[in-house]
Amino acid sequence: MTEIISLVVAKYNYWLYIVLMMIGLYAMIAKNNLIKKLVGMNIFQTAIILFYVSIGYKTGATIPIIKNAHGSHGAEAAVIHAAEYINPLPHVLMLTAIVVSVATFGVAMALCVRIYQRYQTLEEDELRMRLSEK
């Protein structure tokens, strides 16, 4: 039991991403309201962002701006230890992924508006009923 707890605590951010992802997936599959599904979708995408941000993190490291890059020229400035800096690449990738998810969210919202204008409802079962009537 203690082993499991220590396993969870040591990598809690990864466990959290899986939990968040499953919450999002559940909402997307099981919720009846389209806006709730959208919220689920956003949670799902955010979970992946958390995952990527976790990849880049290192204990005790700082932001990737090289120390003493200005001012001290010469030999002592040349040594850069990668372990002192967190990995910026996953974070940069996530900037792109955030843009993508915002764009997706915008398109989905626009679609919801269109659906609401046409049917006056966003409940999926009502929509299905209205569609089968036609």
Partner 1 sequence: MNNYPAILIIAPLLGAFFAGLAAWIQERLSYPLALISLALSTFASVNVLMEVIANGTVHYRMAGWAPPMGIEYRIDLLNAMVLVLVSSIAFLNLLASYQNVEQETHDRAASFYVAYLLFVVGLLGVVATGDLFNLYVLIEITSLTSYTLVALGDRDRAPLASLNYLFIGVIGASFYLLGVGYIYIITGSLNMVDVAGILPNLPGSSTVLVGFILCLLGVWIKMALFPLHVWLPNGYTYAPTAFSRVVAPLMTKVMVYVMIRLMITVFGLEYIFVTLHLSEAVVWLGTIAIVFGGIMALAQKNLKKMLSYIIVCEIGYMVGGAWLGNELGMTGAILHIVNDALMTFALFLALGNIVYKIKDVDYSNLSGLFGKMPWTMAGFVLAAFSIIGVPPTCGFFSKWYLILGAFEAGAYHFAAALLISSLICAVLFFKVFEICFFAPEGNGLSHDNSHGHGDPVIVMDEAPVASLVTLGIVSLALILVGVYSGTIVNTIILPFLR
Q: Where does this chain bind partner 1 (CB under 8 A)?
A: 25, 28, 34, 37, 41, 44-45, 48, 51-52, 55, 90, 93, 96-97, 100, 103-104, 107-108, 110-112, 114-115, 118, 127, 131, 134
Q: C-beta of 116: minimal distance to partner 1 in Å?
A: 9
Of 69 and 111, nearer to partner 1 (C-beta) is 111
Distances (CA, A) of 63 to 25, 39, 45, 59: 32, 31, 24, 12
Of 26 and 73, nearer to partner 1 (C-beta) is 26
- Nearest Cα neighbor of 34 from 101, 134, 133, 127 is 127
Q: C-beta of 130: minimal distance to partner 1 in Å?
A: 9
Of 12 and 119, nearer to partner 1 (C-beta) is 119
Q: C-beta of 100: minimal distance to partner 1 in Å?
A: 5
Structural Rg of the chain based on CA atoms? 22
Cα dihedral across residues 70, 71, 74, 78: positive or negative = negative
Contact 28, 44 (CB under 8 A): yes
Q: C-beta of 43: minimal distance to partner 1 in Å?
A: 11
Gap between the Cα atoms of 48 and 1, Å rounded: 28
Of 73 and 118, nearer to partner 1 (C-beta) is 118
